[in-house]
Amino acid sequence: MIVAIKPKQQWQQATWDDYVALRDDYKSDRCKLFFDNQHLWVEMGAEGINHAKFGDLFPMIIAFWTIKFPDLKLSTFGGCQMGKKSKRAVAPDIVLYVGDDAPTWKTWTVKIY
């Protein structure tokens, strides 16, 4: 079990329970977690200036797109963990849902799955 120490920035063998323990550790340092096929990746700290500069481009593109196509139903999510329980989890910078099937907050839940 990996929970006792922070994993290195490389894919490591892990269980879904390892991922959940790190995800829900509110005393933990800021990090992005990725889980795929019994492997865990942890990115520690904030992104650099080049990433932030490039990342600002996407919301602007989405804003122009919504002006051009006002009838499209769009939802965006950023800075959250998303995944399929026991299978895969990601921490995307931004997610764009087109249509009515975007995830919504459910009472008494911690994460969107």
Core vs surface per residue 61-95: b (16+ CB within 10 A) or e: eeeeeeeeeeeeeeeeeeeebebeeeeebbbeeee
- In this prediction, residue 68 carries a pLDDT of 95
Residue 113: pLDDT band (50, 70, 90) is very low
> Which pTM does this prediction carry?
0.53
Q: What are phi and psi of 36, to 5 degrees?
A: -155, 125
Q: How far apart are the C-alpha atoms of 26 and 46, rounded to whole Å?
A: 16
pLDDT digits (tens, 9 = 90+) for 47-62: 667 767 777 788 889 8
Q: How far apart are the C-alpha atoms of 21 and 72, rounded to whole Å?
A: 38
pLDDT digits (tens, 9 = 90+) for 3-55: 545 556 778 899 999 888 888 887 766 677 888 888 888 877 666 677 677 77
Residue 112: pLDDT band (50, 70, 90) is very low
**Measured CA distances, 112 to 8, 44, 56, 88, 103 (Å):** 26, 22, 24, 13, 7
Q: Vertex 27, ends 24 and 32: CA angle to 5°?
A: 55
- In this prediction, residue 19 carries a pLDDT of 86
